[in-house]
Amino acid sequence: MVPPISSDCEISFEGLIALIDHAGELYFKLDGEGHIQEANGFASSTLGVPNQELAGQSFSNFFPELTADRLHKEFQSVPVSVPLILNTWLQRDSSSQVKINARLVKFVRDGSVCYLCLARDVSNFLLADMRYHTLVEHACDALLLCSEDGILLCNQATVKLLRCPNQASILLRDITEFFPTLQYNGERSIERWKKELELGRERDAHHFDWVIKRFDGTLLEVEISLTHQRFEEKPVLLLSLHDITERKHHEKLLEEMKANLEDRMQERTAELLQSNSDLERSNQDLQQFAYVASHDLQEPLRTISSFCSLLQNRYEGHLDERADRWIRFIVDGAERMRNLIEDLLEYSRVEGRARPFVPTDANLALKQAVHNLGKAILESNATIHAPKLPTVLADVNQLTQLFQNLIGNALKFRQEVPPVIKIECTLENNLWKNYWVFSVKDNGIGIAPSHQEQIFQIFRRLHTIDEYNGTGIGLAVCRKIVARHGGKIWVESVEGEGSTFYFAIPFQPRGDRGSAALPALPANSVG
């Protein structure tokens, strides 16, 4: 039994009403028949009815879901001091309603029954709940809320994914009922599930691939996102299931393509290794043949040359002019043959008598090359400029030969003015490696653009023997030396103005054979 309210309580009650007003609560005081005796300002403004007009009206006038008789019965059934909870619609005017959550308390004052009612507008909460429900129901992925009592909530996508008749056939079932005995990796589903739950407790969200058993018994691969939450003070699991059948199909295709590609690469690698082995053997046989053939040709050639010289010395002038000319042809031909054989031997020695790469002072190699060309330099009155060159990893004899051939070319293919030759070196780099780039620049006759690649081929001559002597092997030797060092060689030239020959040697040569990939070099470089 609630004790009567004193006059002191009347005073404090007015302060309480003001507090309720500011808290956004609707307050009503009703008599025993359910008529409004008092209402606060917030209730008046919410209903859109002045306070003085509210007094005396039946409470049921503002509740379309409650008739006067029903409201009276509800009021009569309320025990004293035990609140009655009402979730209903409140009529504001003829066209609008608000959803409220009301708490009605019955008490006795001066022997008369009265009711106090506090209500809150929950329309916004209802709207938010409806939006949330709509969002969940229209989600593409299956969403489930699970507890120890079973599946509490699920959306329509879950019904579709599990191939169940409806949501009711899923609710309150244990989630493990949708697990096969074994996962695809052979692990027992229950044991694996316990591990995933433990991992989920260590993270905000845990993602993993899983196999589920659908209502019709078929299996499906899904990706599960698992989150531990609390719902109504109980621990629950929030699960999101996404069908990954298509993803797994693509992964399988990729694996098959990868395996096929690896098999093809192995086959291709084996073919290349075999081709390289065959080519290596062929090159060795060819080099040995060229060396032996050239070496064996020198003896009969010396005999021919010697006897032709004897004929020339003894009979020149004693025979007719035609005979003298023929003898000179034989002597000149023998000399050219001797030079050709010596150049072929030099070409074969690039690989046959190669030395290991060691730190080599390029200045000393250049000095030796200039010394070897001393006579030709004096005869042509040439000037050679060379700043200090670096120390590089190279075969010292081959680096000397490289300088000698390029400088010799500049001396040979000169114009009427004295040759001016400039040798320089810079360190270039790119994402792959660093390399030294040497340049040999001259003021000679130059080379036409159409001939700038073919000059590095063996026996490739641009001029007749009457114009410039030589065998056409010198630049081919240069290319082979640079290739052995893992580099490239190329030329830039303007016909009638001169040429600049470049060769690039890696800062750290990769080995004694082959050529390194130097992407930054010109397209016409060879090696």
Inside any domain, residue 266: yes
Inside any domain, residue 405: yes
Inside any domain, residue 348: yes
76 and 37 fall within a common domain: yes
Inside any domain, residue 424: yes
Beta strands in 92-182 (DSSP E): 97-109, 112-121, 142-147, 150-154
Structurally, how many domains does the chain consist of?
4
Inside any domain, residue 203: yes
Tell me what pLDDT residue 3 has: 45
Tell me what pLDDT residue 344 has: 67
501 and 370 fall within a common domain: yes
296 and 268 fall within a common domain: yes
Q: Rounded distance, CA 380 to CA 391, Å? A: 30
Contact criterion met (CB below 8 Å) for 394 and 360: yes
Tell me what pLDDT residue 460 has: 63
- 3-state helix vs strand vs coil in the chain, percent to 5: 45, 25, 30
To the nearest 10°, the Cα dihedral for 57, 59, 63, 67?
-100
Tell me what pLDDT residue 407 has: 92
420 φ/ψ angles, rounded to the nearest 5 degrees = -125, 120
In this structure, what CATH number is given to the domain that contains residue 200?
3.30.450.20
18 and 110 fall within a common domain: yes
Q: Which residues of the chain have pLDDT under 50?
A: 1-11, 511-521, 523
39 and 87 fall within a common domain: yes
In this structure, what CATH number is given to the domain that contains residue 365?
3.30.565.10
Contact criterion met (CB below 8 Å) for 427 and 507: yes
Q: Rounded distance, CA 455 to CA 148, Å? A: 86
Q: Which domain holds residue 345?
A: 255-353
